[in-house]
Structure 1
Amino acid sequence: MTTAFYPIGTPGQAWGAQERAQWLARQRVQRSHADEVVAKIDALRGRFDVSQYGQLDYPSGHYPLLAIRSRGWDDALPVMLVTGGVHGYETSGVQGALKFVDRHAADYTGRCNLLVVPCVSPWGYERIQRWNALALDPNRSFVIDSPAPESAALMALVAPLRGRFLMHIDLHETTDTDESEFRPALAARDGKPFEPGEIPDGFYLVDDSENRQPAFQQAVIEAVAKVTHIAPADGDGRIIGSPVVAHGVIEYPLKALGLCAGISDARYTTTTEVYPDSPKATPEQCDDAQVAAVRGALEYALAHG
């Protein structure tokens, strides 16, 4: 007999409409996108250009999708993309992106054009949820004819600039709830068995296995190491099941998996992973780790072209 490991669905059977509706009914607003994200973006309008590139329209909420651009955009300069909150529950990705713009984006005036999307998934941000309201993972949905409106809107925003991006950094977290909630939910949704894993204690990066940039990754790791600790490999030389290819670095095929960091065709790409549940890291350190990662990525890309 197969034991249920998640309160929704039948073990071994993928969810249908009824199970997705049950899952949606469990989701509750726990914080305010308007107060914690939109208000901070609005406060930046005097220094940067802010635009709405789309809107999420779910029965359970309507959300503007907002992007921040360098003022005085110069087509002769390289374009750098910073994205956060693709998974809405990953707080430091959102707040780290906002903190970077507020405190450091002006340092790059005349050096590059910045396009920053601090919160790709505002519905998920409010509910501290990895998925969107359709029980889809936006960070597996950056594909042609994407079924996730968050992903489709970001791809449409980026499309006119594809080929001009020099760098794209996508800001994420790996949390204890990945193991206690989100991976069990994924297995249940897809009718697969849940296989427990191990959450790494510390910061790490995900490089693109189809466009490896090891020196770039290490530059980012070195910048972040000044702020917080880097995740060690487990006993098998892996982080979240993937071989560690360098200190604090694993690899995924970004485009094949429909990941956000694969949408820009930038020369330099990476996905950050902060561990906010570590006893050795505070929320401020987590935000600062994301800021350090962005700055380290920008400086390397600008120095090496």
Structure 2
Amino acid sequence: MTTQYEEYSIGIPGQPWNAAQKRQWLAAQSKKRSYFDDVEQRLAALDNTTYEVQQYGVLAYADLGFSDYPLYCVKVGTFDKDLDTILVSGGVHGYETSGVHGALDFIEKHAQKYLGKANILVLPCISPWGYETINRWNPYTIDPNRSFYNEGPTDEANLAMKCADELGLNIIMHIDLHETTDTDNSEFRPALSARDAIEQDLWEIPDGFYTVGDSARPQNDFQTAIINAVKQVTHIAEADNSGKLIGSNMLQLGVINYDKKLLFLCGGFTDAIYVSTTEVYPDSPNATPDVCIKAQVAAITGALGYVLAHTLS
């Protein structure tokens, strides 16, 4: 898609961005919604007899003309070292709204059902600056979801990994909540092309829900359980004419795999046996943003149901 690459407003086609062009990109960003109103206030309203809300870090972006963003995790009930731990993460890409609100809805409406069955840790919004400015990257034009490795380049990833690691508990399942929007093609892929001077070949946006398992630990039946739960809420993405989704072979309806550790994805930073990354498409003519939030919740509860039945019982 050469025209999209050449028409991006920042940079010179064929040349990666320099520091001045990255600053130009940052200067063009603005706050479009409030993390403090949409996320922090909902966490503050939780019943502290059932939930423990902890601040696990802060993103110091006030000097960049924005805010310093406190980062929160939620523990459901009292953690028991003899129970396995479930990790739910949202908002690694802050602009992917249903991941954040799906995590919050799960906390408020469903998480208490699992008291005494597993330790449940939720990181509802890993990238609050991205949430407020509706961005995939952080202010330094770095994608947090390619940064989950030791002493990586983003505080978003480093602080989330530290939070989970300091529990000292066995994380058996990690579900990471994502979505794809039309802005992936209108803004974020063109920006990536311009930043790196690498033309993007992949522009497909699957219409419907799908999951990304880990090729090192695929757990096909686990992925099937997620798909079956979400099917009750919204449609599942079909393969393209070559039998693929976003360039990857579809292994079963709505399921592809990536090597998550190799790609430094959020879904790969633990050694959990059961790992899945969700993807929904709120711009679909067959879905709505609210349906996508419900699909994220269904994915979490479907995943938990499978793990409880097969491992924790």
Shorter-chain TM-score range: over 0.9
**Separation of aligned partners in 2, 1:12 and 1:45:** 54
**CA positional deviation for 1:175:** 1.1
Match of 2:53 in 1: 50
TM-score by length of 2: 0.95
Superposed, 1:184-199 pairs within 5 Å as 184-195=190-201, 197-199=203-205
Match of 2:159 in 1: 153
Distance 1:294 1:87, change over 3 A: same
Instruction: Say yes or no: does 1:22 pair with 2:24.
Output: yes
**Separation of aligned partners in 1, 2:213 and 2:23:** 35
Alignment partner of 2:232 out of 226, 235, 241:
226
Contact kept in structure 1, 2:137 and 2:144, CA below 8 Å: yes
Code of the aligned partner of 1:56: L
Match of 1:34 in 2: 36
**CA positional deviation for 1:51:** 0.2
- Which string of whole-angstrom CA distances, capped at 9 and with x for unpartnered residues, describes residues 161-210 of structure 1? 46601100000001111111111111111111233521110000000011
SS in structure 2 opposite 1:174? coil
SS in structure 2 opposite 1:257? coil
Match of 2:251 in 1: 245
SS in structure 1 opposite 2:178? strand
Code of the aligned partner of 1:48: Y
Match of 1:133 in 2: 139
**Separation of aligned partners in 2, 1:134 and 1:45:** 36
**CA positional deviation for 1:251:** 0.8
Code of the aligned partner of 1:51: Q
**Range 213-222 or range 176-185, more displaced:** 176-185
Code of the aligned partner of 1:54: G
- Which string of whole-angstrom CA distances, capped at 9 and with x for unpartnered residues, describes residues 112-144 of structure 1? 010000000000000011000110000000012
**Separation of aligned partners in 2, 1:6 and 1:242:** 27
**Range 4-13 or range 264-273, more displaced:** 4-13
Contact kept in structure 2, 1:69 and 1:114, CA below 8 Å: yes
**Separation of aligned partners in 2, 1:179 and 1:282:** 19
**Separation of aligned partners in 1, 2:233 and 2:303:** 15
SS in structure 1 opposite 2:242? coil
Contact kept in structure 1, 2:202 and 2:246, CA below 8 Å: no
**Separation of aligned partners in 1, 2:258 and 2:22:** 28
Match of 2:266 in 1: 260
Across the aligned residues of Structure 1 and Structure 2, the Cα RMSD in angstroms comes to: 1.2
**CA positional deviation for 1:5:** 3.2
Contact kept in structure 2, 1:163 and 1:266, CA below 8 Å: no
- Which string of whole-angstrom CA distances, capped at 9 and with x for unpartnered residues, describes residues 256-294 of structure 1? 101001111101000000111011112221110000000
**CA positional deviation for 1:160:** 2.9
**CA positional deviation for 1:45:** 4.2
Contact kept in structure 1, 2:180 and 2:280, CA below 8 Å: yes
Superposed, 1:52-91 pairs within 5 Å as 52-58=55-61, 59=64, 60-91=66-97
SS in structure 2 opposite 1:173? coil
**Separation of aligned partners in 2, 1:132 and 1:110:** 37
**Separation of aligned partners in 1, 2:187 and 2:259:** 25
Distance 1:236 1:5, change over 3 A: farther
Contact kept in structure 2, 1:163 and 1:265, CA below 8 Å: no
Match of 1:172 in 2: 178
Match of 1:7 in 2: 9
**Separation of aligned partners in 2, 1:144 and 1:254:** 14
- Which string of whole-angstrom CA distances, capped at 9 and with x for unpartnered residues, describes residues 29-65 of structure 1? 0000000000001111423000000000012321000
**CA positional deviation for 1:218:** 0.4
Runs of 5+ consecutive residues of structure 2 not aligned to the other structure: none
